[in-house]
Amino acid sequence: MNKLELVERLRQATDLGRAQAQQVVDIFFTSMADALAKGDRVEVRGLCSFFVKEYKAYTGRNPKTGAKVPIKPKRLPFFKVGKELKARVDENCSE
């Protein structure tokens, strides 16, 4: 499912118009991105959580030349699946 499909599902499930549904989805994702940019944790109970991991600076190597390369500190977003989502996905698994 992509963002446009999510907007369409929201529109069908409510009495919102397409533009209003698009605005709700945009607000939701913008708010999540803003919170992560500030370093806050975003949690949707039963579904998932998003958080930011911070990495310190270190010295890496260029695999081509073997030269040492300084790597700057960085922050990366991470996703952690919730128990309910994990169980729901697993129950639909047929091996």
What digits encode the pLDDT tens for the residues 44-73? 998 999 999 999 999 999 999 999 999 999
Answering whether pTM is above 0.85, one says: no
C-alpha to C-alpha distance for 1 and 50, rounded to whole angstroms: 19
Statement to judge: residues 28 and 48 lie in one domain: no
Residues 7 and 31 in one domain: yes
What's the mean pLDDT when you consider all of the chain?
93
CB 71 within 8 A of CB 58: yes
Segments in the chain forming alpha helices (H): 3-13, 18-37, 83-91
Contact 85, 46 (CB under 8 A): yes
77 and 47 in a common domain: yes
Structural domain harbouring 17: 1-38
- Contact call for residues 79 and 50 (beta carbons, < 8 A): yes
